[in-house]
Amino acid sequence: MTTTRARSRVPSRRRSGRARSGRLQAGVAAIEFALIAPVLFFLLCMVMDLGAALWVNLTMQ
């Protein structure tokens, strides 16, 4: 009976390792987004500002 108990515990450890790995990957994705998001938002704002400047330039002519 001890072998049955030992076998039943091994898969649960493996699952917890996989769950931990999933949490770590989610944490890495959040950090990557935090590093890239300001650059993307900056580029988006610059494109919108350039569009507004061109529109004002065409309107004033």
Q: Which two tokens stand for residue 30?
A: 């959040």
Rounded Cα distance between 12 and 9, Å, is 5
Kindly list the distances between the CA atom of residue 50 and the CA atoms of 42, 44, 60, in Å, as whole numbers in the listed order: 12, 10, 15
| CA distances in angstroms from 56 to 40, 47, 53, 59, listed in the order given | 24, 14, 5, 5
Side chain identity at residue 55, one-letter code = W
Q: pTM of the prediction?
A: 0.57
Residue-wise pLDDT for 2-53, tens only, equals 555 555 555 555 555 666 777 788 889 999 999 999 999 999 999 999 999 9
